[in-house]
């Protein structure tokens, strides 16, 4: 993603790549297209897996999510890398806060998807891994402070062990 033209923070083309997105709205449209591409119109099925038909014998159609929302998928749709998305989100480079906010919100949608998978998927391992990449921590805190007195009693021939 290059710096948008007309951006007061842009450093100009100076031989670099031209701007990938001329406006924030153009960026938003591509992001929305990515999220929409994760859905497909599918025939509705009952609990036994049979297609549900209307009175005319046509299947009822549902708009179902068939692909996960991922940051890598988002980066591919934008024609860039995960690292560049992180740079834009963190305000690094010649990007306005508007661009940063849009990328941050898109990544938050991907993160929300991963978080929901922990509650709905048969195995949450993939979702947990993805959330760790968003900075979540999987840690256990153990209190190692001991209060009170500890008494050690030594018995036997200690001289034998001291040699």
pLDDT in tens, 60-72: 999 999 999 999 9
Residues 134-155, mean pLDDT to the nearest whole number: 74
H-helix segments, 38-124: 71-78, 82-89, 97-120
Report CA 18 to chain centroid distance, whole Å: 28
**Residue 27 clears pLDDT 70, i.e. is over it:** yes
Comparing 20-24, 94-98, 101-105, 121-125, the range with the smallest average pLDDT is 121-125
Domains of the chain: 24-138 (1.10.132)
Residues 137-151, mean pLDDT to the nearest whole number: 76
Per-residue confidence (pLDDT) for residue 5, from 0 to 100:
43
pTM over 0.95: no
Q: pLDDT over 90 for what percent of the chain?
A: 44
What average pLDDT does the structure give for the chain? 80
For 51, phi and psi rounded to 5 degrees? -65, 130
Per-residue confidence (pLDDT) for residue 158, from 0 to 100:
65
Distances from the Cα of 62 to the Cα of 28, 32, 39, 82, 83, angstroms: 25, 19, 10, 31, 35
d(CA 44, CA 49): 9
């Amino acid at each position: 993603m290059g710096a948008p033209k007309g951006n007061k923070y842009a450093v100009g083309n100076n031989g670099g790549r031209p701007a990938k997105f001329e406006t924030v709205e153009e960026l938003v449209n591509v992001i929305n297209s990515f999220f929409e591409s994760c859905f497909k119109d599918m025939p509705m099925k009952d609990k036994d897996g049979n297609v549900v038909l209307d009175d005319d014998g046509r299947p009822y159609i549902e708009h179902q999510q068939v692909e996960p929302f991922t940051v890598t998928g988002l980066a591919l749709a934008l024609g860039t890398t995960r690292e560049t998305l992180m740079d834009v989100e963190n305000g690094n480079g010649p990007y306005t806060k508007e661009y940063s906010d849009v990328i941050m919100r898109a990544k938050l949608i991907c993160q929300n998807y991963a978080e929901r998978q922990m509650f709905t998927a048969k195995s949450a391992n993939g979702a947990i891994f993805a959330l760790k990449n968003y900075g979540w921590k999987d840690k256990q805190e153990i209190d190692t402070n001991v209060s009170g007195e500890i008494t050690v009693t030594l018995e036997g021939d200690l001289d034998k062990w001291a040699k």
